[in-house]
Structure 1
Amino acid sequence: MVRTVYSPEYCLQYLEQYASQESFVLGLILGQITDARENIIHLARTPEEKSTDTGSESSYTSEKTECVRNLLGVSEAWVADHAKHVTRMLPGGMFVQGIFITSDEDVFEDPNHFSKIKTILNFTHKILSSNPHMFGNYPHSNERLILHMSTSTKVLTCKSMEVGSGKTTSIKPVEWKFLPKPQQWQRLDCYYEFDDIYPIIVKKSGISVKQQFQQILEAAHKTIQSSVMFIDGELKDGSDALEQLIKKKRPKNSTKAQDVPKSMHVSLFVPFESSLPETVEYLECDGSIHFSGVVSSSVFMYPKATVSEAIAAVKQDIIRSLASRFTMHCDALIDDNLLPEEKVCFNEPPRRVLVPVGALYLCDYLFPGEAPAEALLSVKELLDLQITENDVVCDVETPADTSEFDALDRDASSEELLATPQEASQFMYITGICFAMFVLIVSILIHYYDAIAQFMGKLLTRS
């Protein structure tokens, strides 16, 4: 059975625009795969390669560009870097599904060009798979799309190849269909609240901010994966299609699409662990990190997708958003030392904003003090789109209010500092020295166990 993908009509116009210029262009194919259908949402041209002296990952800010005139001159590392930045902007359930090319050469028949395509796709797959929380967890098979438009004949050809297998690569034909009407999407909104304290344990070899955040991300991933998802306050059957839920929500005697609610509200409930541990160990820590606030999540699903697929997309979106913020925040830090000299250090990771792409929204992240104009630069550079400041939705998350922390005395106790309430839409973390407080809590738990044990022993003796 031939693989079929669907994309909006403007993707064809986008390809023809570059093909008519008779210039070589390479870019990314962005989309979503469900059991019901595979949808392409956007084609994003990879920017001209930029050279820097540092060779850092964030080289997109450089002004010096190197024009690549054919496929053989493309750097696979540069394409993979573009895929990493773009994936951060994708909501859960959406991925980089392959590459597109406009050129005069037949990239499928020329062995040198096809070998280059294999190198690009395999290297990009390797880089993205190295961080599954942010870039990986690609659904279904490891087949990636290759879309080619000839600049001379304007003929469009799409094929797929498997990546990461290490075996002989075989290419398969793919049927690409353009939709004259905009694709319908079902939006699911979720606000996941964080109010957790994580211990900081500094070993002899030391620990960096990135290392600690990775441990926190693993813990958050485990918690979110174990949670139960309710849609509009109800627990749904995982095999049900989202469109079935939409029909139930539509008012009776109404067939108008505008009568359907624009979005579904999603709530994640973490199961309560009723069983206490049999033994409690002392944990000597050097400090703590307090995460407080809410991560905003907006996921767009094909209406025929199942509830299970929607659940996976929402959970993935929250984890991907956390991983993106952690990485961006760590890259912006001057000092990688986890414990500051001050007793308490307030940090605000970048907040999420939404940017329109066709009939749905992708996202970007703004650091404190940055204006929506910063998002316009990312959208232009990474997605090859022109939008205005009014198009950027900035109210899904609000900046944290730091006024209360600015007024606090640095010598105040950690217990007082961690008791400050925060607005639901803020997301931040606080690091501080809390060894005494943590040991006190553990001591109380052990004392509680001893008291219960003595009480049960007396009851057994009397009986």
Structure 2
Amino acid sequence: MGMGVKAVVGDEAQLKALENTLSSSAPPAQVGLVVGKLSPSSDRALAYSLIPTPPTDAGDPPCSLRAKPKPKPKPKPADSTSSLDFDVDWVAEHARQVSRMLLGGMSVIGIYIWASEASFKATSPAVLSQVVRAVSQVVPLYDSAVDERLLIHISYSPRRSACRICDMSSGSLRPCDFKYSKLLASLQTFRCTYNFEIRVPVVQAEPFKKVVSKAISNLTKEVQNAKALIDGILFSDAMDNTLEGPHNVEFLVPFKNNLPAEECSLEGVSGLLLFAGSVSALAYLGPKESVSEAISDLKLDIITSLRSRLDIILDEADGESTTDNLENSLSQKAAQVVFHELRAPYSFPFPRRILIPWLAGSYVCDYLQQSETTEDAMERCREVMSLEADMGNYSIVEPESASCTTLGSFWDVVPGALSKAPSEPGRKEIQSAENGLRRTHGSSFSILAALVALLIALLVGYIFTFSAILKT
């Protein structure tokens, strides 16, 4: 458990803008998500933006006033106020979709409720914390010791805002200090392109999801151990967060054997999955935060981005309602692949990440399947993130080509024999001119290493034989 949140700072421009919109449209009640940062290193939470949860598929509001109870012969005064009613599953599903679109350093960290003081007080704390908990379960904060989320109440009668901290283990709500500041305008941007090549042994009858999840877990270990170069300088804790951005980060991965020996000798290994490609990652660092947080957020962005892509493929494969769609059939075929029965090389492209302008120069992201266009992404963004409808396509950034998982027969992809592996996909940088050096460990190194090892072995053998001859 972390030290606990003592104060919440909200971005003044964004939070006040939503308040003004709500007071002019005056819905009786509304629920939405808080996007921000719960920093493990400080006792402050940053609230960057509030995103209203859209109406349900049936067109119902996700938060409404409960019908008033019929008055008893002598009604108590408390009976006259309606409490709030929530579609908890819908709010949680919205949180899942929003979190998929957020880049490093931003998460769904709670909910906000727009309601009168009276109806908010008439709603039991257990109902309120149930909504917050449902959101936290679908969007866990990875690598975070903070077991708390926010509940911001914007009251219209009387007009004021207050924040409570919800403890996830007990469900209790406690008040905390809430103030406004300029946050989004002072965010620092850190970005990188991470090239990877992971080999995973495929055991018989392992399903697609399990094999690819295993590849992502192996990659997670590699990313976590990587050292960071920031604008060409090796990262150290002494670096401060006052440098002007944006910053280009490069991760240096220690040289390693591609597969641990014990994995190569597994019983029942029927082949190797080569998981290779390039992830364009981005992280935002808030004011007064340390650069080391930006590095861990960037590493986390690489991994969560790949997890999101796998989820998208599996979601599509599950959605049977539109199976006549070509894209779904691709995802379905992938999700149903039985690796150990494949005899020919098989490759499947992952959805590629695009960046969509959001607030105050920051971006959110979406993922495009092969048959989709940027217009599909804009449509999703308008719905999920409540983006303005008149945003043009012109400012969307496409930093990636499709990253790809490829399966070959075992001998095609043993380390060092990459003749048939796919060449690394081309990439467009966000701004090529600012892109720092990049080190990619390719197959040429492993082939060279194998030749050197062979040469040494021959020499050693020759020396032993020669010395034996001399002795006789």
**How would you bin the TM-score normalised by the shorter chain?**
0.7 to 0.9
Asked if structure 1 preserves the Cα contact closer than 8 Å seen for 2:353 and 2:365, the reply is yes
2:116 maps to 1:104: yes
Quick one: distance in 1 between partners of 2:124 and 2:284? 35
Quick one: distance in 1 between partners of 2:458 and 2:225? 32
2:344 maps to 1:343: yes
**Cα-to-partner distance string for 1:75-112 (whole Å, 9 max, x where unaligned):** 222222111111111111221111001112546633x4
Equivalent of 1:266, from 220, 245, 249?
249
Q: Which runs of 5+ in 1 are unaligned?
A: 51-63, 130-135, 247-259, 427-442
With normalisation by structure 1, the TM-score equals 0.75
Matched position secondary structure for 1:65: coil
Quick one: distance in 2 between partners of 1:381 and 1:279? 48
In the TM superposition, what is the alpha-carbon distance from 1:142 to its structure 2 partner? 1.7
**Cα-to-partner distance string for 1:93-135 (whole Å, 9 max, x where unaligned):** 221111001112546633x442211111122223333xxxxxx
Asked if structure 2 preserves the Cα contact closer than 8 Å seen for 1:28 and 1:100, the reply is yes
Residue of structure 2 equivalent to 1:80:
92
Residue of structure 1 equivalent to 2:52:
45
Residue of structure 2 equivalent to 1:142:
147
Residue of structure 1 equivalent to 2:332:
334
**Cα-to-partner distance string for 1:180-201 (whole Å, 9 max, x where unaligned):** x852121111000023332221
Equivalent of 1:306, from 285, 290, 301?
290
Quick one: distance in 2 between partners of 1:398 and 1:75? 38
In the TM superposition, what is the alpha-carbon distance from 1:306 to its structure 2 partner? 1.4
Quick one: distance in 2 between partners of 1:293 and 1:277? 21
Residue of structure 2 equivalent to 1:316:
300
Equivalent of 2:420, from 409, 418, 421?
418
Quick one: distance in 2 between partners of 1:207 and 1:157? 50
Residue of structure 1 equivalent to 2:19:
15
Asked if structure 2 preserves the Cα contact closer than 8 Å seen for 1:189 and 1:266, the reply is yes
Matched position secondary structure for 1:101: strand
Name whichever of 19-28 and 90-99 sits farther off: 19-28
Quick one: distance in 1 between partners of 2:154 and 2:260? 61
Quick one: distance in 2 between partners of 1:279 and 1:217? 19
Quick one: distance in 1 between partners of 2:21 and 2:262? 67
Asked if structure 1 preserves the Cα contact closer than 8 Å seen for 2:188 and 2:285, the reply is yes
Matched position secondary structure for 1:334: helix
Q: Which runs of 5+ in 2 are unaligned?
A: 66-82, 317-330, 429-449
Q: How many residues align?
A: 398
Quick one: distance in 2 between partners of 1:15 and 1:119? 24
Residue of structure 1 equivalent to 2:368:
366
Quick one: distance in 2 between partners of 1:42 and 1:65? 24
Residue of structure 1 equivalent to 2:163:
158
Matched position secondary structure for 2:221: helix
What aligned pairs does 1:281-292 form with structure 2 within 5 A after superposition? 282-283=265-266, 284-292=268-276
Residue of structure 1 equivalent to 2:216:
217
In the TM superposition, what is the alpha-carbon distance from 1:275 to its structure 2 partner? 12
Quick one: distance in 2 between partners of 1:213 and 1:280? 16
Change (3 A) 1:278 1:105: closer
Residue of structure 1 equivalent to 2:61:
67
What aligned pairs does 1:113-124 form with structure 2 within 5 A after superposition? 113-124=124-135
What aligned pairs does 1:163-178 form with structure 2 within 5 A after superposition? 163=168, 165=169, 167=170, 169-178=172-181
Quick one: distance in 1 between partners of 2:459 and 2:85? 72
2:397 maps to 1:398: no
Quick one: distance in 2 between partners of 1:327 and 1:400? 15
Q: Which has the higher contact order (CA 8 A, sep 6+)?
A: 1
Residue of structure 1 equivalent to 2:36:
31
What aligned pairs does 1:381-460 form with structure 2 within 5 A after superposition? 381-386=383-388, 388-390=391-393, 392-399=395-402, 418-425=420-427
Q: Which amino acid aligns with 2:14?
A: Y
Q: Which amino acid aligns with 2:139?
A: L
Change (3 A) 1:138 1:45: farther
Quick one: distance in 2 between partners of 1:159 and 1:280? 49
**Cα-to-partner distance string for 1:318-365 (whole Å, 9 max, x where unaligned):** 001010111112333223223375612231111111112212111111
Asked if structure 2 preserves the Cα contact closer than 8 Å seen for 1:91 and 1:298, the reply is yes
Residue of structure 2 equivalent to 1:4:
8
Quick one: distance in 2 between partners of 1:389 and 1:241? 37
In the TM superposition, what is the alpha-carbon distance from 1:214 to its structure 2 partner? 1.2
Asked if structure 1 preserves the Cα contact closer than 8 Å seen for 2:31 and 2:113, the reply is yes
In the TM superposition, what is the alpha-carbon distance from 1:178 to its structure 2 partner? 4.4
Matched position secondary structure for 1:73: strand
Sequence identity (%): 24
Matched position secondary structure for 2:210: helix
Matched position secondary structure for 1:286: strand
Quick one: distance in 2 between partners of 1:279 and 1:399? 32
Quick one: distance in 2 between partners of 1:38 and 1:266? 25
**Cα-to-partner distance string for 1:283-307 (whole Å, 9 max, x where unaligned):** 4532332223210012121253212
**Cα-to-partner distance string for 1:379-434 (whole Å, 9 max, x where unaligned):** 11111111523354232113479xxx9xxxx9x977787344233429xxxxxxxx
Residue of structure 2 equivalent to 1:125:
136
Asked if structure 2 preserves the Cα contact closer than 8 Å seen for 1:160 and 1:174, the reply is no
In the TM superposition, what is the alpha-carbon distance from 1:455 to its structure 2 partner? 7.8
Change (3 A) 1:138 1:172: farther
Asked if structure 2 preserves the Cα contact closer than 8 Å seen for 1:372 and 1:389, the reply is no
Q: Which amino acid aligns with 1:177?
A: Y
Change (3 A) 1:295 1:413: closer
Asked if structure 1 preserves the Cα contact closer than 8 Å seen for 2:36 and 2:48, the reply is yes
Matched position secondary structure for 2:162: strand
